[in-house]
Amino acid sequence: MSEHQKKTIFSGVQPSGKLTLGNYLGAIRNFPLLQEEYQCIYCVVDLHAITVRQEPAALRRQTLEVLAQYIACGLDPEKSILFIQSHVPAHAELAWILNCYTMFGEASRMTQFKDKAAKHSDNVNVGLFDYPVLMAADILLYQADLVPVGVDQLQHIELTRNIAQRFNGVYSDTFTMPEPYIPKAGAKIMSLTDPTRKMSKSDQNPGGFVLLMDKPDDILRKFKRAVTDSDNRIVVRDDKPGVSNLITIYALATGQTIQQVEEQFAGKGYGELKPAVGEAVVELLRPIREKTEDLLKNKDYLEQVYTAGAQKASALARKTLDKVYRKVGFIKR
């Protein structure tokens, strides 16, 4: 299939530098497979990041860490476009135009703004309110067909579609209407300390999540302390969320089915399950952590990747932006 026939997937990645085991097993592990079938564009969204106060040196470091981790997880810069959002000015340019085609009521209904505003009540800035429009610009710039998102981001895709539809209605077809992409085999990995909640790096208890860059001893300790229950049977059941989560993680880390894992641990206790899951995760993440550490020592290579990625992204973005500028009546520069 030629590049022109492939559908385009766009994904924006926050430069937190803290990708979790949940991120990896739920989505990132599938990304290398996607790049064979789709034109994949992955952007480290540093413009989005500054809606919350950032320490500049940390933001620079974390931006490179995320880029390195994605490559370490199997993304090939020759097959996917990997770049840093602020290196392609068209994102900010299109966002301003889309602001003028976004209704205030639509933007004010975004539930994530309300959540983030509550968490950062000392800094409820216009960028925080407006970032779903920048997200729409990120997606529409590349005429993305599909956007990998979690359930919490579906409202933003709907807003993006509303903006695109409104603009297309005024000026004729300009933007592709994006669809959310929910990976078929995307597993939902839960917190190790509260298995009723999804694993998240924003968890107040760092024992609840495993980071891709965690050291082996830290991983083993977190699994040793993972919440289970008083019934010692090792089976997947609705009333055993902690054990079910550990079995799911072990199955994914070792390539087994849930049934095979249940059979392997039949008659055994949590004292054997927890360290086994910890060891399996250590071995799963070891090559990713080591490759990331090697890449971060090679800043020249990372610079080559994000510079070449920005050039490719800019060429695609410019086509869309030129079309938009012409349609709204701007004089060609």
CA distance 78 to 32: 12
Q: Note whether 235 and 262 are within 8 A (CB).
A: yes
224 classed as catalytic: no
Catalytic option among 116, 222, 240, 274: 116
116 is catalytic: yes
**CA pair distance 85, 142, nearest whole angstrom:** 13
What lies within 8 Å, CB to CB, of 83 at 6+ separation is 42, 43, 44, 306, 309, 310, 312, 313
- DSSP structural state of residue 331: P
- Sequence-ordered alpha helix ranges (H) in the chain: 21-26, 31-37, 46-49, 56-72, 90-99, 104-108, 111-119, 126-141, 154-171, 216-224, 241-254, 258-264, 270-297, 299-328
203: left (phi over 0), alpha (psi -120 to 50) or beta: beta
299 is catalytic: no
Tokens of 285: 């993440």
Instruction: Describe the strand order of the beta sheet including 8-13 as a list of residue ranges.
Output: 80-84, 39-44, 8-13, 146-148, 179-181
List the catalytic residue out of 6, 7, 201, 323: 201
- Tell the burial category of 128 from Cβ atoms under 10 Å away from its Cβ (0-12, 13-18, 19+): middle
Task: Choose, from 198, 222, 240, 274, the residue flagged as catalytic.
Answer: 198
Helix or strand run (H / E) with residue 147: strand 146-148
Burial class (CB in 10 A: 0-12, 13-18, 19+), 70: buried
| Run of H or E including 83 | strand 80-84
Q: Are 252 and 190 in contact (CB under 8 A)?
A: no
Active site residues: 116, 198, 201
